[in-house]
Chains A and B, each alone.
Chain A
Amino acid sequence: DGGITQSPKYLFRKEGQNVTLSCEQNLNHDAMYWYRQDPGQGLRLIYYSQIVNDFQKGDIAEGYSVSREKKESFPLTVTSAQKNPTAFYLCASSMMGNQPQHFGDGTRLSIL
């Protein structure tokens, strides 16, 4: 089945630690996205990528970094510079243009 796989489902970060969230898609989509969702709020765009080796900042990129070395993969690193990282992180992908985004089932990040 085609889809988006995010791992791990739950992740804990210690103070001063960087953590990386995995996102893999087998939908052959060109574009991939990372969102942050806080309780009772909508989705806020962190980074997005339209092609391999290229990515753009979204609305809340500070404290996060990404890479796009393969079309299928778009990992997100939450750095120690992100002072409030506790949230539900969602990865999505889409075809280019006005196409719907398909989401993974998220990673919930908490602080130890």
Chain B
Amino acid sequence: QQQVKQSPQSLIVQKGGISIINCAYENTAFDYFPWYQQFPGKGPALLIAIRPDVSEKKEGRFTISFNKSAKQFSLHIMDSQPGDSATYFCAANTGYSSASKIIFGSGTRLSIRP
């Protein structure tokens, strides 16, 4: 119930294409869904996040789509660029007034071909 399942494990997209990464969860108590981007040898960095009261959030070329009834959410990267090549983690948590305990997906290694 605490898992966040992420797919695909790896993804290759042509430059200019759309990259799509999907995640699913079971715990309906989750109420914060961040996406992190990680480059080799670096720590993850927050990319974009959504709360379940909205179905979509867009920041530049990055969009999160959220389907509360299906308990699924996805990251879309429009006009994918070589600089987007990284590992992406979806995550979910419910911290309320306590520490923000995040459950991470297993990651998607994205490669953008020039």
A residues adjacent to B (C-beta < 8 A): 4, 6, 30-31, 33, 40-43, 45, 48-50, 56, 90, 92, 94-106
Q: Tell me the complex Cα distance, A78–B68, Å.
A: 40
Q: Considering the complex, which residues of chain B in the window 1-30 have a beta carbon less than 8 Å from any beta carbon of chain A? A: 6, 9
Contact between A96 and B89, CB atoms less than 8 A apart: no
**What are the residues of chain A within 8 A of B51 when measuring CB–CB?**
98
Given A96-B95, A98-B31, CB of A31 within 8 Å of CB of B46? no
Contact between B100 and A102, CB atoms less than 8 A apart: no
B residues adjacent to A (C-beta < 8 A): 6, 9, 31-32, 34, 36, 41-46, 49, 51, 89, 93-102, 104-107, 109
Chain B contact surface mostly = loop
Given A103-B43, A105-B41, CB of A97 within 8 Å of CB of B96? yes
Contact between A97 and B98, CB atoms less than 8 A apart: yes
Given A42-B104, A100-B49, CB of A31 within 8 Å of CB of B99? yes
Contact between A106 and B96, CB atoms less than 8 A apart: no
Given A45-B101, A50-B98, A94-B99, CB of A102 within 8 Å of CB of B107? no
